[in-house]
Amino acid sequence: MIMLGDETWIRLFPGRFTRQDGVSSFYVKDSVEVDFNVSRHLEAELAASDWDLLILHYLGVDHIGHIGGRNSALMAPKLKEMDDVIRMICMHAVMRQNDVDKRTLLVVVSDHGMTDRGNHGGSSDEETDCLALFVGLQVKPADTKMVGYRTINQVDIGTTLSLLFGLPIPKNSVGVLIQEVFDQMTDEQRLRAMELNSWQLLWLLQAHLPGFLCENSYYIDLSDAQSLGINKSIGSVKERLHQLFLKAMNLHNSWKFLKGSNFVSKDTDQLNLTVEAYHGFLSAASEWLSHAATDEPVIMMLSGVFMMAFSCVLLLGLLLMLFKENRQKQHPYQMKFFRYSWNIDEIFVLLGILVHVFSLGSSSFVEEEQYTWHFLTSTLYMIFLFMRVQSFVGRQTSKASKTMGEQNHDSQKPARLSLTSNSKVIGRISFMWIDGRECISICAVLTVLICMRVLKSWHQGGVNWTHLADISKLLEEAGTFRIKSFRIASLVLVISLSCLTLCLSRSGKCYLGMLIVSQSISALLVFLHIMDYQTHLLTPSSYNLNLFFLLYGSLSVFLLLALASPWFLPSHRLTRSCETKINMPTTEMQMESLLRDIRNSTYIIGVTYTTSWCLLQLLLQQPTNAFPVLLLFLQILASMIYFSSEVSKHKPWVEVAALYFMGMTGHFGLGNSNSLATIDVAGAFKGIFGQSTLLAGIMMFIITYASPLLHLFGMVLWISMKAMIHPLVQQASDLSCILRKMLDLPCLLLLVLNSVSLTGFSIILLIMRNHLFIWSVFSPKYMYVCTSTLCVYIGLLLVVATMFYICTILSYRARNNQTRVICTGNFSG
């Protein structure tokens, strides 16, 4: 055996190949090096005669499809190159064909198709449309006049090739031999091949149907064989397949008897009957085995759904208990749940969750889920905008009425004292300050809505409308220069917004300077990658790989610097504690100082998480997705500005739900869908030297769930800007209470949202298990739902670990500071 191409197979089967030449690395972007390494040996290997099997592993066509799709400018030249390779193989086979009895069959097959974007893995016609070309068969002249082509199952190719080579059929293959390939053989060879195929499927039937035995213990005469039929009323699959097999075997034995008796006229009829009988058994057995391989254990599925439903109810109960506890502490006189006054945003969030779950019962809504999330998120933020505008207009009306009343009152009285005048000025200033905050909050909501609208038009997601024009397609048609310009502009804006956000922190200038320099170095490396990307688009580059490792190292340093903030940030000591009669701060002052330190460190780490994640996505995402990454980052910052403003009167759980909604909307805004075909395979191998399934899978997960994870990391920023100023957190008396008040609501709510979606769709999947689109629509969606569950748990684990780390370190520093104060006080005394 000779192996030429990717070295993955050489590593999997060491010592099996007589000669081998593999490429040292597996590059998804490569369409030149691996193919060239194969073709340069082709002439010599075809001329050699010391091998039985020559494996040529070409990768260019698949890689070009992943990079630029089926319409890539590189696709036609690569296909022409593959045509030349096939021509060379065919010509050498013809020249070496000296023996008339040793004919050559050239089989050209493809394992899958591709979508317009070059991906595959789904069940659309484009992805499952494969080629099977058999060159060298002695086809009858009448057959060449046939219009069109016959379709076969892909599993039939393995069975057919095994029988042609005289090899055993793969043990678990459910394929049926392709009859046209065996038409040129003798009658004995054709029937023998069908007999071997039947016995192989019979063994599989015996494995799936215990007690299924077809002992051919009797023979029937010719008339019985011709009249033998299958009782259509038999309901048992086992009996029906049993009769089909016995019919084929008996007809085969009868044909052998007639063949030996020289009954020529009946021999041909018997042959046709035998072939039809074998074909009937093979088709029925293959179809039944294919369905049996996908049968679902209903009892186990029901048990799993019951456990998920129990978990969902348990989480809902904990969340309701938390709501009740918080409400009793804030409003001790509202003891009953039905007395709770519901706002329009809260009602919409609850209805939106239910609408989304019920919409998953429709295959069309599953295919176009991005429209559901866009409607829910945009409508929720429109409600936010309506509430802010309504509040702003009401305040302005109240202000105008008060001003008119004061003017009428002043006209009837003499001039007031200067103190009254000063009170008016202070009142006007406070009104202006409130109006300014209202305008900022309204602008923040408008920013989110504008970004959301652009994201919706960036990709025509889903299944039914992917062929329509969108911004990403127009950008690709505009050329690489425009794409590169958008990427650079997105990078500059992300870094600028991040630096501005960091500067709002009350931290030391030296420490902030180190953070800004660190992230600027990371941004510079991303910039170098953007400039280098087009140059080494189709060929591997050691410089590019080194750039990836440098960037990963720079991002790690950036994160470590941020995580060191609880150690190095100056503590907010309250100077007024020195004025007390005792020599140490009171407990309330200590907790106030600790909360300020926690808030400051959490803010810095939250900004660092989101910025680092955006820089990583600018590196890994498709070039056309750079601007959507900027829009997602801008949405998070605008939402934080709005939620942290004092004019925002939304409940914390509504804000957490809004971030969750926005993360799911951004997931589809980056071009993802509920089809496996939209997974970016090429990006998963960026910066990887060799073939690594684990690393590639992790990278694929990072790219696919970029938006949900970004908004989960943004939860750290939300905790610093909103949860830390919540009255219940301010009233906390110890560290454990602080952690609980900060984390219980966002963690429980996100777990409930995910659990409701997972449980609801599991029930839908159980109901729809016999649906026509169960494998093409519902099953891929269920894989996405399960992976989303993993995404939520990973994000929440990082949030909890971060907050626990910050609180632990700052509490340790506070105890040390307290010890120093006590020692200093004793020494002074």
The 3-class SS string of 297-348 reads CHHHHHHHHHHHHHHHHHHHHHHHHHHHHHHHHHCCCCCCHHHCCCCHHHHH
Q: List, for residues 572-626, the tens digit of each pLDDT value.
A: 554 444 444 344 445 666 677 778 888 888 999 999 999 999 999 998 888 899 9
Q: List, for residues 774-805, the tens digit of each pLDDT value.
A: 877 888 999 999 999 999 999 999 999 999 99
Number of domains in the chain: 3
Question: What pLDDT score was predicted for residue 731?
Answer: 58
- Which residues share a beta bridge with 343? none
Q: Residue 347: enclosing H or E segment and its boundaries?
A: helix 344-359
Distance between CA atoms of 366 and 372, rounded to whole angstroms? 9
Least confident among 420-434, 513-527, 554-568, 610-624:
420-434
Q: Which residues of 767-780 are buried (b: 16+ CB within 10 A; e: fewer)?
A: ebeeeeebebbbbb
Q: Residue 286: enclosing H or E segment and its boundaries?
A: helix 264-292
The answer to whether residue 337 sits within a structural domain is no
- Domain closes at, from 142, 167, 202: 142
What percentage of the chain reaches a pLDDT higher than 70? 76
Q: List, for residues 92-149, the tens digit of each pLDDT value.
A: 877 666 655 567 778 888 888 887 776 776 667 777 788 888 877 665 544 545 556 7
N-terminal to C-terminal alpha carbon distance within the chain = 91
The answer to whether residue 661 sits within a structural domain is yes
Q: What predicted TM-score, i.e. pTM, was given to this entire model?
A: 0.73
Task: Please state the rounded mean pLDDT for residues 16-31.
Answer: 70
Q: Which residue has the tokens 């999330």?
A: 373
Least confident among 13-22, 334-343, 638-647:
334-343
Nearest Cα residue to 442 out of 491, 373, 393, 405? 393
Q: List, for residues 484-528, the tens digit of each pLDDT value.
A: 999 999 999 999 999 999 888 877 788 888 889 999 999 999 998
User: Are 401 and 526 found together in one domain?
Assistant: yes
Tokens of 272: 């046709």
Q: Which residues of 495-524 are buried (b: 16+ CB within 10 A; e: fewer)?
A: bebbbebbeebebeeebbebbbebbebbbe
Distance between CA atoms of 24 and 170, rounded to whole angstroms? 31
The answer to whether residue 413 sits within a structural domain is no
Question: What pLDDT score was predicted for residue 771?
Answer: 74
497 to 6, 516, 519, 603, 709: CA distances (angstroms): 44, 11, 12, 14, 19
- SS3 assignment, position 2: strand
User: Are 322 and 238 found together in one domain?
Assistant: no
Distance between CA atoms of 291 and 286, rounded to whole angstroms? 9
Q: What CA dihedral angle connects 629, 513, 547 and 9, to 10 degrees? A: -70
**Residues 718, 720, 724: CA angle, nearest 5 degrees:** 110
Q: Residue 23: enclosing H or E segment and its boundaries?
A: strand 19-23
- Which residues share a beta bridge with 107? 134
Pairing of strands 132-135, 106-109: antiparallel
User: Are 88 and 181 found together in one domain?
Assistant: no
The answer to whether 820 touches 583, Cβ cutoff 8 Å, is no
User: Are 311 and 252 found together in one domain?
Assistant: no
The answer to whether residue 347 sits within a structural domain is no
Q: Using only the alpha carbons of the chain, give its radius of gyration.
A: 36
**401: confidence class by pLDDT, cuts 50, 70, 90:** low
Which amino acid is located at 516 in the chain?
Answer: I
User: Are 569 and 674 found together in one domain?
Assistant: yes
The answer to whether 258 touches 222, Cβ cutoff 8 Å, is yes
User: Are 277 and 317 found together in one domain?
Assistant: no
User: Are 799 and 718 found together in one domain?
Assistant: yes
803 to 253, 392, 636, 710, 716: CA distances (angstroms): 78, 36, 19, 17, 8
Q: List, for residues 209-236, the tens digit of each pLDDT value.
A: 776 665 544 333 433 433 334 444 334 7
The answer to whether residue 766 sits within a structural domain is yes
Q: What CA dihedral angle connects 420, 425, 429 and 430, to 10 degrees? A: 10
Conformational region of residue 262, where left means phi above 0, alpha means psi within -120 to 50, and beta covers everything else:
left
- Which residues share a beta bridge with 106? 135
Question: What pLDDT score was predicted for residue 448?
Answer: 94
Q: List, for residues 661-701, the tens digit of each pLDDT value.
A: 999 999 999 988 888 878 887 777 777 766 677 888 899 99
523 to 551, 561, 631: CA distances (angstroms): 9, 16, 17
The answer to whether residue 569 sits within a structural domain is yes
Distance between CA atoms of 806 and 602, rounded to whole angstroms? 7
Residues in the chain: 829
Distance between CA atoms of 781 and 462, rounded to whole angstroms? 12
- Domain closes at, from 142, 164, 183: 142
- SS3 assignment, position 172: coil
CA contacts within 13 A on the Cβ side of 457: 8
- Domain closes at, from 292, 309, 343: 292
The answer to whether residue 556 sits within a structural domain is yes
**Tell me, what DSSP letter sits at residue 135?**
E
Question: What pLDDT score was predicted for residue 736?
Answer: 75
User: Are 530 and 663 found together in one domain?
Assistant: yes
Which amino acid is located at 476 in the chain?
Answer: E
The residues, ordered by sequence, that sit 6+ positions from 801 with a Cβ below 8 Å of its Cβ are: none
The answer to whether residue 167 sits within a structural domain is no
Question: What pLDDT score was predicted for residue 570?
Answer: 72
User: Are 87 and 198 found together in one domain?
Assistant: no
Q: List, for residues 455-482, the tens digit of each pLDDT value.
A: 999 988 767 777 778 888 888 888 888 8
Question: What pLDDT score was predicted for residue 783?
Answer: 93
User: Are 373 and 487 found together in one domain?
Assistant: yes
Q: Which residues of 634-643 are buried (b: 16+ CB within 10 A; e: fewer)?
A: bbbbbbbbbb
On the question of pLDDT at 421 being above 50, the answer is no
**254: confidence class by pLDDT, cuts 50, 70, 90:** confident
Please give the residue range of the domain that contains residue 194. Answer: 175-292
Nearest Cα residue to 633 out of 592, 579, 669? 669
User: Are 285 and 302 found together in one domain?
Assistant: no
The answer to whether 712 touches 663, Cβ cutoff 8 Å, is yes
Give, to the nearest 10 degrees, the angle between helix 33-47 and helix 75-95.
10
On the question of pLDDT at 808 being above 90, the answer is no
Question: What pLDDT score was predicted for residue 691?
Answer: 66
The answer to whether 362 touches 781, Cβ cutoff 8 Å, is no
Averaged pLDDT of the chain: 79
User: Are 132 and 181 found together in one domain?
Assistant: no
Distance between CA atoms of 402 and 394, rounded to whole angstroms? 12
Nearest Cα residue to 699 out of 619, 784, 779, 754? 619
**743: confidence class by pLDDT, cuts 50, 70, 90:** confident
